[in-house]
Every structure is written in structure tokens, then in C-alpha cells.
A and B are shown apart, each in its own frame.
Chain A
């Protein structure tokens, strides 16, 4: 049941009074408790208990809903934190120099209505690039070692010139 049946009241009373007084106080407490037991308090009626049970069911449902909402909110908050952490600490966060993208086809061509002239320019431009690319690949593969690293630089310069010219239109 509980500790009440096992407690040694006299021993506890002895902590605050002498042994004789503790014994007398113990008797008085037990007599008082017996007196209380002779006057039973009323019990709640059946209707009250039914209403209470119904209210408990509603309270339990409310509590479940709250827990679900709380869990949902926590999961959403956790997801936001995880995404933020990935954004801050992930591989993409290292300080990298900003990449500049350049359009290989000048804007003027896209905006121009002169298709024939633009086509010719494109054919010239792309054929030049292909030729230089082929030479560079051959150099890198060691097919034209006689030209050395100076030849590679020369070709790169050529490529740059072609691009500049093309951009000039």
C-alpha cells in the first residue's frame, strides 16, 4: 500500500519530544485518526464520475493533438537547422574565388536579325577554334615536340586574338 502502515510514529515523535511525550502524542494521533475514520466523507455520484471520464477523454485527445503538433514543429525546425548547417558547413561553403562565366557567342549575334552574316561569322569562329584546339591537343600529346612550350603559348595567343576579333564583330 504505502509507508503509512510501516512507519514508526513514536520514533519520529522522539525526534521532537521526549520519549514519554512521544508515546502520549502517538496515542493521541492514533485516537484522532480513528475518530476521523468513523465519519466517512461522501463519494462522488455516478453522474459526476461519468462527466469526469468524458472530460478526461477529451483532455487526453487534446494532449495527443498538442504532442503531434509539437513533434511536427520540432521536426520542421530540425529540418531547417540541418539545411542551414549543410549550407554553412558543407563542401560548397569553402571560400572559393567567384567563377566568371563568359558567353562564347557574343550577345550581338543573339540580338541581330542578319542571320547570313552571323552564320558566316560563326562558321569562321568555330572553325578557327577547332583548328587551334586540335593543335593544342597535338602539342599536349607530344606529337609536335619540336615546337616546345613556346608554340603552345603562341596558339593560346591566337585563340585569344580570334575571340577578341570576334567580339569586336
Chain B
């Protein structure tokens, strides 16, 4: 049950099944390692807090890799055709319409929407999890969902 929801959360944030496999695996291993720190309460809240941390760790790692890649830009520019064909594969076969439009939202709003949808937590719990005021979380989600609907209908 949790595996499907967490996988959906990772997949909608990354758009990559292999990467979602890795992140899901990382999540459940960290869950085993940190089970002693679970103090009761909403399990989903604890679970998705760890999932969110894992996703942010991944983003930080990605930024580091990007910086490394930029340092080696000259080498990467030698393979533009290969990169193009990979992008095309992803767009055609692996990403559905929702995924494409989600990618047009800013990262923070996208994560908030996915957190709300897949964790099934209340706004109060989500606000606590993200350490931000309830009103801020509500406003961001409202604006994000409104924009997503516009994009999907357009």
C-alpha cells in the first residue's frame, strides 16, 4: 500500500521509473534504519517526511552532478544527438500528459501538490511536515492546482 503511494510520489516528481525505483529502495532502507526514531502518531506523516528528505537529497546530488557536468561542458557538447534521442524517448513513451504539465510548475509547488495527493495527509499535517504556516501551504497549493488545471485544459 505504502510502496505504491511513495512510488507515485517519486515518479511524479522525477518522471523517471528507474530513478523512482532507486528512491523507493532508499526510502524503505532508511525506514528500517530509522524505525527507532518513530515516536508514534501519523505514520504517513513520518514516512513522507523521510520521502521528502530523500527527494531533496537527490536534488542536491543532482545539482552537484550538474556543476560537475558544466565543468566538463566541452566533452558533453560532443554528444548532442545522443542526448536528443534520449529526451525524445522519455517524452513519447514514458511521460503522460499530467507528467508533462507537472514539469511546468515550479519544483516547490509540484512537490507540495504531490505530497498532498500521495500522502493523503491533511493540510495541517503537510504544513507541519514542511515547517511552514498553514496559510502559506494552502495558498501555494491553491495557486498550483489552479495553474495545473489551466495547463491541462489548454
Enumerate chain A interface residues (CB-CB to B < 8 A): 1-4, 6-7, 9, 12-13, 15-16, 25, 28-29, 31-33, 35-37, 39-44, 48-49, 51-52, 55-56, 59-60, 63
Choose among A6, A35, A36, A39 the residue with the greatest number of B CB atoms under 10 Å from its CB: A36
- Are A7 and B28 neighbours in the complex by a CB distance under 8 Å? no
Instruction: State in angstroms the CA–CA spacing of A49 and B1 once bound together.
Output: 12
Chain A at the B interface: mostly helix, strand, loop or mixed?
helix
Given contacts A2-B120, A35-B148, A41-B12, contact A48 B21 (CB under 8 A): yes
- Are B124 and A7 neighbours in the complex by a CB distance under 8 Å? yes
| Pair count A-B, CB < 8 A | 107
- Are B120 and A43 neighbours in the complex by a CB distance under 8 Å? no
Given contacts A43-B4, A63-B32, contact A3 B122 (CB under 8 A): yes
- Are A2 and B42 neighbours in the complex by a CB distance under 8 Å? yes
Q: Can you spell out 16 A-B residue pairs with CB atoms less than 8 angstroms apart?
A: A3-B121, A3-B122, A9-B123, A12-B134, A16-B138, A28-B149, A31-B145, A33-B116, A39-B98, A41-B11, A41-B118, A44-B3, A44-B20, A56-B29, A56-B31, A63-B33
Instruction: State in angstroms the CA–CA spacing of A55 and B23 once bound together.
Output: 13
Considering the complex, give the chain A residue whose CB is closest to the CB of B134.
A12
B12: chain A residues within 8 A (beta carbon): 41
Q: Is B135 an interface residue (CB 8 A)?
A: yes
- Are A59 and B32 neighbours in the complex by a CB distance under 8 Å? yes
Instruction: State in angstroms the CA–CA spacing of A40 and B98 once bound together.
Output: 9
Choose among B11, B20, B32, B144 the residue with the greatest number of A CB atoms under 10 Å from its CB: B32
- Are A43 and B7 neighbours in the complex by a CB distance under 8 Å? yes
B17: chain A residues within 8 A (beta carbon): 42
- Are A55 and B29 neighbours in the complex by a CB distance under 8 Å? yes
Q: In the complex, what's the smallest C-beta–C-beta distance from A64 to chain B, in angstroms?
A: 10
